[in-house]
Structure 1
């Protein structure tokens, strides 16, 4: 079975676009509860900032983006600044661990806007000089002068949406840049952000052959820095490309071909010195994205901008549980709400301990680290949001589940043991991980693992031990 890329498998939790924040959907704001103790001055979070505008809509894209004749950038900038400060204060965030400007096409924003948001965040919380600050850029808005402006504004990592180095494929995807422009942008980016430039590539296009994909990947290897993200094309309902495939105008790639493309790409990148640290992400020389790792490690993140998603504890509103939050998607409505009340949160829902564990499991298994156990912090007088961010999903399970260990959840006979026998999963006393053979199959493995988790959690609750942290 083919492995699905980040955009398909992580849409429900990555803070971009307008996908649902929970499987059951986000409800209205919960009734305020009696506030618990506030965090002791060390709450941490990553910050995601969504720029919703593009010059055109690509044929495959379902993210929250808008093509408009003109953008009042000063107004958008003021609202991004205000919402960032409001939500960081709401979460009592004392340290911002990383910042990611996504979209849309954030490289269409001016460097002044990027600098203003970073300065606003630094006024509220500590943002170290070495913190990773990533900007997504399209080749058509990534000329050297513009990139230099972003670097001066505080950006130190660039994620370049190349997608393909074939002009016919770029036209099929509805991209506005050419292959020559993509090459020029990649070369400029590598000079300005050496060792910190990532290229995005898409495979599994309708009609694309295995040979064409292999040629494109080899061409990208000649251009790239130390990070590549490979995404299988997902035919999202409502996009132009999906409609063409659905009515038979374009062929849908067979799953066997998609699997071959993915597996051969893994082998090619491994031979070139790249380590696969997540389903779709490959890095060499330690060039992993610390910001994206914060999502897969189920750490707190604050989502700012139209349609952004977040996961954090709203201490400032008396909250004691981590919430899934989604900002109002349409920019004009979002700006009205930010001006009137400081933020544009449209939907929010407190996450139960089981829902948190489901996210920790689904996200952590995407990585080479997997999900590992930690001694419970219960009784230590410290809350999960106060702890330093070390170790990733490693050391996350015990924080969310002091009553149900990884071994208790997945060690007994059941679905997980059957997957281990087939060589797709590995569990020891410290960690649960997918094997290299199991990682491409993660989407098909997860339902069984989630079912086992729910069953074991129900047993713990019936025994009176289901009280986990937020």
Structure 2
């Protein structure tokens, strides 16, 4: 389908309640494409990073920049060129989903979003029903602006609400109010019915469990499609971390954080949400197809300053999956794109064992876990049963009721999912030892792959 025709069809699909496409059905139907083993078809998801914000929130250490003015035409041209270049390098025939993250992508003009989607559709097949998500802040989500994004081809919106309490928003350094957040969500639900997601933060300094529960109930009254819950992380170098370390704000107790998470899970599950990933909950099949591509270890290409990717660069003669990171600083990234077509700053060929570590670490984040089929794409000789049925950490965790290994594959129980960070090191060690035995080599030291894989999805 021609690029322009794709955009019209995508906008029409977004306007229908339950408008179809990946992420509208069950976990299996939500898959954006086959798992990308070495011989898999050249399909990939695409992440596009918009690095600019109007201000830096007090808790944020993401790759974002606050500048007096943005040369959007130049940034747009570089995003378009890099997308085309990397899709060509990966010989990608089909783009399964697109996600515009940041930064604050809703500060970009609909023209920029449309130009990137047109370029993608011209370089590879982008199905009319493919999920196209844009992250938005309430302060840049007016009705005309969101309508412009919908006309550009966006069919799913992820809104950074974070809180519906004005005092908490001020503590976080957000520039919107609770009233503006509610208005933005209402507009989004009219324009993107069935495909609106809210981000919420818990574990704020001084936040009580009752206040968190009330905020969550208010959020449920606004949006019953998809909710992402994130525990606030006090990142070094941020204003909020400095206040906590300096003693002017209290450190949230670990027991309280655990109680907040369990309370949220109970409330959302009781409301009919499926807890399909550690931090993500969906009703009526509104799973995020794009994020599922990360957790299922499928190929994805990262475009824009600081974006990450995982794909095989077939056009360069590569035959193994690479981990790629684009240059962080926007002006330096643009210079590299203008001179050689892309701004890849770091690329690492992932060994077969490192790929399996990612399959394990990411797959166990989901309620479906790691299926035998997906594991077999990356490990045709060493099965899940051979690795995790043997005596070791996995068997102990199964006996304790935190892990399951059956005909569906390997997955955490609901109780185990909440403890995943503490379960993973032992499981990764067991995988490494099994791999070493099967290859007649010494077990390696604990690989950093799991850490690399865990935080790149958005």
Counterpart-to-counterpart distance in 2, 1:58 and 1:321: 39
Match of 1:286 in 2: 285
**SS of corresponding position for 2:414:** coil
Match of 1:236 in 2: 235
Counterpart-to-counterpart distance in 2, 1:136 and 1:433: 29
**SS of corresponding position for 1:404:** coil
1:342 maps to 2:341: yes
Match of 2:78 in 1: 79
**Mapping of 1:22-61 within 5 angstroms?**
42-61=41-60
Match of 1:417 in 2: 395
Match of 2:414 in 1: 436
Deviation at 1:50, TM superposition (A): 0.1
Q: Determine if contact 1:160/1:199 at 8 Å carries over to the other structure.
A: yes
Render the CA deviation track for 1:45-77: whole Å, top value 9, x for unaligned.
Answer: 000000000000011111100000000000000
Counterpart-to-counterpart distance in 2, 1:338 and 1:463: 41
**SS of corresponding position for 2:415:** coil
Counterpart-to-counterpart distance in 2, 1:298 and 1:174: 34
Match of 1:28 in 2: none
Render the CA deviation track for 1:385-427: whole Å, top value 9, x for unaligned.
Answer: xxxxxxxxxx210010111100111101100011111110011
Counterpart-to-counterpart distance in 2, 1:58 and 1:130: 34
CA RMSD of aligned residues (A): 1.4
**SS of corresponding position for 1:118:** helix
Q: Determine if contact 1:323/1:351 at 8 Å carries over to the other structure.
A: yes
TM-score, structure 1 length as denominator? 0.85
Deviation at 1:41, TM superposition (A): 9.7
Match of 1:18 in 2: none
Counterpart-to-counterpart distance in 2, 1:269 and 1:41: 36
Render the CA deviation track for 1:83-107: whole Å, top value 9, x for unaligned.
Answer: 0000000000000000000000000
**SS of corresponding position for 2:230:** strand
**Structure 1 residues 40 and 438, CA gap change in structure 2 (3 angstroms):** closer
**SS of corresponding position for 1:396:** helix
Counterpart-to-counterpart distance in 2, 1:419 and 1:344: 43
Deviation at 1:40, TM superposition (A): 8.4
Match of 2:371 in 1: 372
Q: Determine if contact 1:199/1:224 at 8 Å carries over to the other structure.
A: yes
- More RCO (CA 8 Å, sep 6+): 1
Counterpart-to-counterpart distance in 2, 1:122 and 1:128: 8
Deviation at 1:187, TM superposition (A): 0.3
1:396 paired residue among 364, 370, 374: 374
Counterpart-to-counterpart distance in 1, 2:186 and 2:163: 15
- Range moving further from structure 2, 346-355 or 246-255: 246-255
1:447 paired residue among 410, 425, 428: 425
**Mapping of 1:14-413 within 5 angstroms?**
42-373=41-372, 395-413=373-391
Counterpart-to-counterpart distance in 2, 1:398 and 1:75: 44
Counterpart-to-counterpart distance in 1, 2:212 and 2:425: 30
**Structure 1 residues 120 and 419, CA gap change in structure 2 (3 angstroms):** same
**SS of corresponding position for 1:286:** coil
Deviation at 1:299, TM superposition (A): 0.2
Counterpart-to-counterpart distance in 2, 1:53 and 1:43: 31
Match of 1:468 in 2: none
Q: Determine if contact 1:190/1:225 at 8 Å carries over to the other structure.
A: no
Render the CA deviation track for 1:321-346: whole Å, top value 9, x for unaligned.
Answer: 10000000000000000000000000
Counterpart-to-counterpart distance in 1, 2:224 and 2:212: 19
Segments of 5+ residues of structure 2 without an aligned counterpart are 1-37, 443-458
Deviation at 1:372, TM superposition (A): 1.3
- The count of corresponding residues between Structure 1 and Structure 2 is 406
Render the CA deviation track for 1:164-183: whole Å, top value 9, x for unaligned.
Answer: 00001001111000000000
Deviation at 1:250, TM superposition (A): 1.2
Counterpart-to-counterpart distance in 1, 2:232 and 2:196: 22
Counterpart-to-counterpart distance in 1, 2:325 and 2:75: 18
Counterpart-to-counterpart distance in 2, 1:192 and 1:43: 32
Counterpart-to-counterpart distance in 2, 1:246 and 1:410: 41
Match of 1:426 in 2: 404
Deviation at 1:315, TM superposition (A): 0.7
Deviation at 1:463, TM superposition (A): 7.7
Deviation at 1:225, TM superposition (A): 3.5
Deviation at 1:191, TM superposition (A): 0.3
Match of 1:457 in 2: 435
